[in-house]
Structure formats: structure tokens, C-alpha cells
Structure 1
Amino acid sequence: MQLKFSFPPHRNDSFENFVVDGNNEKAVLICNHFTGKNQDRPASLVITGPPGSGKTHLLTAMGKTASAQSGSTSLYLDGAALMEKVGGSKTYEELKTRLASFESASFLAIDRLEIIEGNKESEDQVFHLYNAVTQAGGKFTAALRTPPSKWGFADWLTTRLLWGHVVTLDPVGDDRKVEVLQKMASDLRLTIERREANWMLTHLDRDPKSQLKALNLIDQRSLTTGKKVSIPLIKKALEHTDAG
């Protein structure tokens, strides 16, 4: 059975719950309009931005919007997964079989595209996927950390990626970071009140990887003790770890 929506599980990402402020408002608006049916819009969109800015969230939100349209198939492919498919295929025919569903997607999103930089075989497949999807009338999207001036792709792939929209997604300001952290917790089915979230932002590392590690430890502690999240529980969950 062919998938119609293959985005990361256990996430409740949509445009409605994306935290917007003056830093990212324009980029979010472009992404929201991209999945519309206006034929005059470019067929591709590349999102660049640092970790934690919400690139995967927007890819998923666009995919959900696109999949709601009649007969549409929205598929997601991580850069690392693409390299595994390329490297794990013994023949070109086997690789084409593995990528066939992505070629025929109405909406294709490739996340963490920077991972494939310098890998000619993977870059070649992204080039082919771009052509296959857009020439069939579909939408191609990709997300990566670096702006075009710092891309390390082959020139022919860079040129193709620049054919459509390229938007920079900046992180929200400090006054909205609590909401972002609460959204991360919500994705883990974990409820953190504003007071506790503020404490975490003040006392712990703010990079997304460290925050996610801390949230998982807090979630485990909350489940084990049967207690709601509090500052004492957070401290206990993170003692003897490098999460902070």
C-alpha cells in the first residue's frame, strides 16, 4: 500500500501551532502560500535556518496542507535516509525502485539536505527527484541549515535549487522561546507550565539537541514518579547529567 503522508511521527506540527513573531513572520507566510493551487507560484521552495528555527515543523505543516488536497500524496525524506538508500542499493535499478514513490509524490520534502553535500550520487538523486516531481506538476521542498552562499553542492544542483523560492527562517525572539519549548514538550506528550519552561531557558543550554535530551529525562522522571513537572522534579531529573 502506497503511503500518502510519511512525515515524522509523534509530531503535531501545523501552521496553526507554529510560533510566529517578527523574526519569522514573512518566511512562514511564504511557506503557507506555497502549497496553494495557484499555478503561477514556483514549484520549489528551499528553507534555510539554524537548528531550532522550525524547519521540520514547516515542512510537516506544508505536507499536511498539501495532502488535504484531493488525490495528493505528501512524502518526507531525511537527508541521512536518502544517503542510506543510495549507499545501500547494489544496482541502479534497485535504487530507482526504492525512490519510485518519492518521484511520483505530489509534494516532496527533503529535510537536512546539507547532509548530502559532497556525495555526488545522492546529489544526483536529489536533482532527479526535483525534476521528476516538478515536471509532473508537483511541489518540491527542502530544508537545510546554511544559506545559498555557503552551500557545498555541485553547481548544477545549486542552480536547480535556486530556481524557486529560497527563504531564511530565523528563530523567534527570546520573548517567544518559552512557547517553542512548550511545543517541544507537547510533542513528547509532556506538559510543562510557563514557570518551569522559563526556569529551563534560564538555567539550561538552549540548543535544540540539549533541550530535547533534557525534556526526555524530565518526561522519564515524571512518568516514573507519577508527579507533574515542577522545578524540583526538573532538577532531580537532570542531576548527574550534562543536559544542563
Structure 2
Amino acid sequence: MEQLVLDMGLAPRPTLANFLADGNRDALAHLALWAHNPRRAPVPTYLWGGAGAGKTHLLQAVRAAVQAQGEAVGWLDARTLAPPEFDERWTVLVLDDCHLYTAGQQAVAFNWFVNAMAPGSGAARWVLAAGDRPPADLALREDLRTRLGWGHVFQLQALAEAERRAVLRRAADERGVFLSDEVMDFVLNRFSRDLSSLMALLDQLDGYALRTQRAITIPLIKAMLEHP
């Protein structure tokens, strides 16, 4: 009988410290400086790059860092179907997956952006956004698209093969999970190689291994795929 999964082996939360910065050190340094400085300048920042480049990781890490300082953060992504009104308590606004926004989400994002730059009370807010292409190439309403490119723009570079292995290895080690070289080869050669997919796969493998009380091996991966 499969045992219940205990509250252990959970995926580590995205932080600025556990982001592998190779190729993206300037962007990481900028975000770390601004996230930890309540007196940050209200100049927008936009990150862009392909799937798995780490955009959402960084945005979630910034949100966590800002909230840890007692500040409130507004968050909008493509899965936010009923976005709230702009909240004067927010000190930072985060807009993820801008390239996927519906017309309604674009209207909300524009409203948030305008209120952030010229709020009814208090100082202007920092807007941090991300998408899969440069601001000029986004298929968004013109007033929002141009505003996303007003400030700092950083392109995130996807990880190379060795770096991707290092991230997967570190994520497994943080869970106390051992992945042999054979398992690593199997995973990287047969599954989607972007980081978000690899982390989701590690979640599944860890949970299945706990339930079945088995080590993560190639036979276990095949069994998991046969009995999801």
C-alpha cells in the first residue's frame, strides 16, 4: 500500500540566492539591489527571454524578498482571471507573462502601470515585468507596450547543458534526493529541458518516490509514467 506523502521533500521556493546567475549576473544584481532597497527609484524593469530562462523564478523571488520586508506587492500574470483594482498599499507591481495577456488583462496592467507612476497618494511605485520578447515586439496595446520599455530592460540567457544539470542537481540535493548520472541523462534526454518543466518533473518524481518508498531510478520513472 502506498504511504501518505509527508510534508517533506517540498520544492524550494524561488529566491534570488538560489537563482543560477551564469549569463544573467547584471539582471540578478539589479534585482537584488532594488528588491532590498525600500527607497528604490520608481523606474520600470523588464525581463525577457525564452521558456525556462528563469523569468518567473526571478519575479517570484523579488516578490518574496519585498514581502519579507513588510511591503505589499501587486501580482498579475496570464492565469489571473479576475485581477483586483490597484491597491495604494502596494509598493511594487509585478507583471508576469506579459506576452500572453488578454485584452482585459492588458487594460488592468495599463491601469496598474499608470497608477504606479502617478499614484493618488505616496511616492511612485516600482513596476517589474517579464515577457518572452523585447518590449518593442510585444503584441500588446500600444500604450502598455511602450511603457514596458521605458526603463531597464534585461535579456535573460537560457542555461547551457552543464548549467541545467547543475540546477537540477542542486534542486534535488536541497530536497535530500539523490539523482544518479544515469537518471540525470535519462531525464534530460527524454523530457522537456526548460527549467520550469524539469522542476515540475522533479516534484512528481519526489512525490512518487515518497509514496512508493523507493529511490529515484529509471525503472521508478517508467513506473510513474505508466501509473500517474
> Is TM (by shorter chain) over 0.5?
yes
Equivalent-residue separation in structure 2 for 1:45 and 1:149 (angstroms): 14
Which residues of structure 1 form unaligned runs of 5+? 1-8, 87-97
**TM-score scaled by structure 1?**
0.73
Contact kept, 8 Å, 2:48 with 2:133, in 1: the verdict is yes
After superposing on structure 2, the runs of 4+ consecutive aligned residues of structure 1 that deviate more than 6 Å are none
Q: Counterparts of 2:154 and 2:163 in 1: how far apart (Å)?
A: 21
Q: Tell me the alpha carbon deviations over residues 190-228 of structure 1, each in whole angstroms, 9 at most, x when there is no partner.
A: 724352334311343324565356435423431231112
* CA displacement 1:133-161 (0-9 Å, x = unmatched): 23333211111112224211122111211
SS in 1 for 2:74: strand
Query: 1:48 matched to which residue of 2?
Result: 48
Q: Deviations over 1:4-32 (max 9, x none)?
A: xxxxx9651111111121x2222222222
DSSP-derived class of the 1:47 partner: strand
When you count helix as a share of all residues, which structure comes out higher?
A: 1
TM-score (normalised: structure 2): 0.78
- Aligned-CA RMSD value: 3.0
Contact 1:108 1:139 (C-alpha < 8 Å) held by counterparts: yes
What are the residue-to-residue correspondences of 1:76-87 with 2, within 5 Å? Answer: 76-81=75-80, 84-85=81-82
CA-CA distance at 1:237 after TM superposition: 2.2
Code of the aligned partner of 1:65: A
- Is the contact between residue 192 and residue 198 of structure 2 (CA under 8 Å) also seen in structure 1? yes
CA contact (8 A) 2:54 2:195 kept: no
User: What residue identity is the alignment partner of 2:17?
Assistant: E
* 1:231 lines up with 2:218 in the alignment: yes
Indicate the residue corresponding to 1:73 in structure 2.
72
Paired position in structure 2 for 1:95? none
**More moved, 160-169 vs 200-209:** 200-209
* Separation of aligned partners in 1, 2:95 and 2:11: 18
Aligned to 2:7: none
Matched, 1:27 2:24: no
State how far apart, in whole Å, the 2-side matches of 1:39 and 1:216 are. Answer: 37
Change (3 A) 1:75 1:183: farther
- Contact between 1:24 and 1:172, CA under 8 Å: does it hold in 2? no
CA pair 13-146 structure 1, distance change in 2 beyond 3 A = same
Whether the 8 Å contact between 1:24 and 1:170 is mirrored in structure 2 is: yes
Write the letter of the residue equivalent to 1:226: Q
Please say if residues 104 and 133 of structure 1, whose CA atoms lie closer than 8 Å, have aligned partners that are also in contact. Answer: no
1:112-123 matches, within 5 Å, as: 112-116=97-101, 119=103, 121-123=104-106
CA contact (8 A) 1:42 1:164 kept: no
* Partners of 1:111 and 1:143 within 8 A in 2: yes
- Partner Cα distance (2:204, 2:61) in 1: 27
- In structure 1, the partner of 2:16 is 15
Tell me which of 45, 70, 92 is aligned to 1:107. 92
Q: What residue number does 2:138 align with?
A: 151
Contact 1:52–1:171 (CA<8 Å) still a contact in 2?
yes
Residue aligning to 1:215: 202
| Higher RCO (Cα < 8 Å, 6 or more apart) | 2
Native 8 Å contact 2:136 2:146 kept in 1: no
In structure 1, the residue matched to 2:191 is 204
- Residue 140 in 1 paired to residue 140 in 2? no
| Separation in structure 1 between the aligned mates of residue 18 and residue 101 of structure 2, nearest angstrom | 30
**Partner Cα separation in structure 2 for residue 194 and residue 214 of structure 1:** 15
Which deviates the most, 175-184 or 232-241?
232-241
